[in-house]
Structure 1
């Protein structure tokens, strides 16, 4: 494997291309705008929610919550977003996979018990590059959490183009 990596590096370097990778991050201002829009959408529906935005590695970029959110919603929003990041899909799709396959569910519980398959987290991508995920928790149903996450993404759609 070392020879393959060295060979790849050598050919890229010989062609004058940088061997370094460029990694894009969602700007904190965009994360704040997305979280604010998600909270506002849920607040309009009468729900106090938490919003977690993670980068592509699962590192927290932003955690925000409505003033009257219950503490468990803060934790669940993070777990939903983490599942979305780890599988680069919605937390609902991850949850469907968990429910359909008990062996997969057991392995995921042992690998990372911080994952939640509850509906409410969506991946964040820009120009075909996966950037992370937004997770929402606190509405009466997961579909409402996901609607709020979608509103957050809509608020930053120009940034993601």
Structure 2
């Protein structure tokens, strides 16, 4: 089971696609809980969207959300991450196959290759043990944690 932590990068509209993509994962039992980091400015539209989706809005930053998560595996997700039913199923199978020892470095979720290059696109998400995130510096943003923690992690292309 996964706890998902995300942050609206621009507006509530960016977040709505990700939250709706996570619903089948919650129904299947892959996703246990979802946390949305509160932006600096309060956004009533975002709060209503999170409430409708069953996501909890967390103030205080990434470290607070990591401590509140109920699962030992955390999915850091940019609001641009899209997980259709096929990607959720593949993610669930890969997590089962890797097991806890195989996830020590995490599993980076990437999009399609950039401009046709062979390397995958930048990480859109990262599944990692909670213990790896507890060592992040205070005030670390979700985007910085995603970049930093996904270095050296095996990659799973989930889109494109």
If the length of structure 1 is used for normalisation, what is the TM-score?
A: 0.30
The structure with the largest helix share of the pair is 1
The structure with the largest strand share of the pair is 2
If the length of structure 2 is used for normalisation, what is the TM-score?
A: 0.31
- Structure with max Cα Rg: 1
